[in-house]
Amino acid sequence: MSEETIPIDYVMEAASGPHFSGLRLDGRLSSPPSSSTSSPAHRYSVSSSFAQADANTPKQPFVIGVSGGTASGKTTVCDMIIQQLHDHRVVLVNQDSFYRGLTAEELERVHEYNFDHPDSFDTEQLVDCIEKLKSGQSYPVPIYDFKTHQRCVDSFRQVNASNVIILEGILVFHDQRVRNLMNMKIFVDTEPDVRLARRIRRDTVERGRDINSVLEQYAKFVKPAFDDFVLPSKKYADVIIPRGGENHVAIDLIVQHIHTKLGQHDLCKIYPNVTVIQSTFQIRGMHTLIRDQDISKHNFVFYSDRLIRLVVEHGLGHLPFTEKQVVTPTASVYTGVDFCKKLCGVSIIRSGESMENALRACCKGIKIGKILIHREGDNGMQLIYQKLPNDISERHVLLLDPVLATENTSNEIRGSVDCSYKQGG
């Protein structure tokens, strides 16, 4: 392995850091592995560069609060927003996860416990969670069990920092400290009788209740608390969605607004030669696979190749063409096109300085025509773009995702690009 490459296991470990959303296994390594062929300096600089990339993340996450009565369709609306924001990393935090959990005494008299009162939530912990996520740190969110009314003692959901944080719950607008953390507040407004019907079905099917206890709890606690706390907090909403998840128009408008706020399109407006390759769940699925510390080397190479192929194909689509005529086996003339320039591939580890050096080294005598950004790794790449030298002759540069900077890329893929460069550390 050359001085400039980094062991795959380490690259993947570093890449599983806090710039990813979603679940993360507890107890993952966060320090470099002890046995490795790369120099300690290399290993240290990769580790610190990831931490740095996080601290330097230019924008704070966009925090959306979604409130509404029980069974109004909050979760459904959140799922629809997440689906439509597929090209951004989004995490969903449920206020329910911050239920305090009942003491033995309270459990004995569970029918007298008011789960709809603000005091039943640990709001300090909820605030701490959102503040940490906003500042780019990950957070161990508790797991609450609606059947036992307890939190799991030995497990939690490790939520990582993301572009968008959605906080959902009946009382997320009640406390001013929580409201102040939000950039957008949505209230899902559904008729009480529809909500009650849904709640009866959901609580008997999913939460282990019988109809009588659901109705009793509804009359004693749920409805009064809705009138006292949930409904009055509706006035804080920026957007009210009647009919919840059925309201596709409202959800489309909200998603459009979030896209604008995240400034994805502005990047392309400011830098006309930047092209962002839209992410899809399929692409993110492959990124997830290659970053998994348990992936086999064979699968790592297989999925890396598939990802690189997407970038290469996209890059080829940006090359200029000239007309070319060929003679077919039946002796007719076919007028087609031929590339008139070549691609230059650059694989970069996500670090401001080393990326710049990589580009400078790679692009000596080359003018950068188009820059392709693969969304999964675009933070570092936006950074480097702003520092690019512009005194170089004409060629196209293709930036591959940093985690793919290994020597395992297949020859077939390597053959698609004119020149490649590997930079580690």
Ligand X SMILES: Nc1ncnc2c1ncn2[C@@H]1O[C@H](COP(=O)(O)OP(=O)(O)O)[C@@H](O)[C@H]1O
The binding site for ligand X (CB under 6 A) comprises 68, 70-76, 198, 202, 244-246
Choosing among ligand LLZGTKA7, ligand X, none, which partner's interface includes residue 99 (Cβ < 5 to 8 Å by kind)? ligand LLZGTKA7
Please identify which residue in 13, 87, 116, 376 interacts with ligand LLZGTKA7, judged by CB under 6 A: 116
Rounded CA-CA distance 410/302 in Å is: 9
Nearer to ligand X, 71 or 276 (CB): 71
Find which of ligand X, ligand LLZGTKA7, none residue 24 binds, CB within 5 to 8 Å per kind.
none
Q: Please give the Cα distance from 408 to 183 (Å, whole number).
A: 43
Q: What are the beta bridge partners of residue 184?
A: 64
- The interface partner of residue 246, options being ligand LLZGTKA7, ligand X, none and the CB cut-off 5 to 8 Å by kind, is ligand X
Question: Are 171 and 179 a contacting pair, CB within 8 Å?
Answer: no
Q: How far is the CB of 93 from ligand LLZGTKA7 (least distance, A)?
A: 13
- Can you read off the two tokens belonging to residue 35? 């046995």
Q: Which of 194, 212, 240, 236 has its CA nearest to residue 70?
A: 194
Q: Which does 185 bind (CB under 5 to 8 A by kind): ligand X, ligand LLZGTKA7, none?
A: none
Q: Site residues for ligand LLZGTKA7, window 128-147 (CB under 6 A)?
A: 146
The nearer residue to ligand X, 149 or 367, going by C-beta atoms, is 149
In the complex, minimum distance from the CB of residue 140 to ligand LLZGTKA7, in angstroms, rounded to a whole number: 20
Residue type, 13: E
Give the x/- contact pattern for ligand LLZGTKA7 in 58-97, rule: CB under 6 A: ------------xx--x---------------------x-
Helices assigned H by DSSP within 218-351: 223-225, 248-262, 264-270, 281-291, 297-316
Site residue total, ligand LLZGTKA7 (CB under 6 A): 11
Q: Of these, 99, 173, 385, 421, which contacts ligand LLZGTKA7 (CB under 6 A)? A: 99
Letter string b/e over residues 129-143, b meaning 16 or more CB atoms within 10 A of that residue's CB: bbeebbebebbebbe
CB of 72 to ligand X, least distance (A): 4
- Helix, strand, coil percentages (3-state) for the chain, rounded to 5, are 45, 20, 35
Please report how close the Cβ of residue 30 comes to ligand X at its closest, in angstroms.
Answer: 34
Name residue 425's amino acid.
G
Interface positions, 216-245, toward ligand LLZGTKA7 (CB under 6 A): 222
Closest CA to 138 of 25, 58, 244: 25
306 binds, among ligand X, ligand LLZGTKA7, none (CB under 5 to 8 A by kind): none
> What residues are paired with 400 via a beta bridge?
347
251 Rama class: left (phi>0) / alpha (psi -120 to 50) / beta? alpha
In the complex with ligand LLZGTKA7, the residue whose CB is nearer, 106 or 353, is 106
Query: Whole-angstrom Cα distance, residue 21 to residue 62?
Result: 14
Residue 115 near ligand LLZGTKA7 by CB under 6 A: yes
Q: How many other CB atoms are found less than 10 A from the CB of residue 375?
A: 20
List of residues 6+ apart from 60 with CB closer than 8 A: 134, 135
Among 161, 170, 250, 276, binds ligand LLZGTKA7 (CB under 6 A): 170
Residues that bind ligand LLZGTKA7 (CB under 6 A): 70-71, 74, 96, 99, 115-116, 146, 149, 170, 222
